[in-house]
Amino acid sequence: MSLAIIDDDFMVCTDCLMIIANDDASGLDYSLGEEEAEVREHEILEAIAEIQREEGQIAVGDSGKDDEFSSSPCACCGTRLAGARHHCVLLGDSRER
């Protein structure tokens, strides 16, 4: 099976990027209380797991394509909170296209 980019415009929020890139949600604690951070981390991990099950692997893309400020919903967790969106790509089985 060969992996190919199936979505080259997968823009995620900073929280999601942190977890996708570093598998690290500790940064959430800075902006949220401990309990809230746990809920948020869980929400993001669920979203990532679902995308990986249904669509493909999320990989960090080109930081040159980041959007410093956007009000579009995060492609991963769906937050509508305006802020930075980071470029990621979805990798999937190219044969399915």
Segment contacting Zn ion by CB under 5 A, of 8-16, 22-30, 48-56, 86-94: 8-16
Q: Which of residues 64-93 bind Zn ion (CB under 5 A)?
A: 74, 76-77
Q: Which of 11, 16, 37, 88 binds Zn ion (CB under 5 A)?
A: 16
Residue 81: strand, helix, or coil: coil
Q: Which of 13, 18, 19, 37 binds Zn ion (CB under 5 A)?
A: 13
Query: Would you count residue 58 as binding Zn ion (CB under 5 A)?
Result: no
Query: CA-based angle 37:18:49, to the nearest 5?
Result: 80
Alpha-carbon span 67 to 24, nearest angstrom? 22
- The contact set with Zn ion (CB under 5 A) reads 12-13, 16, 74, 76-77
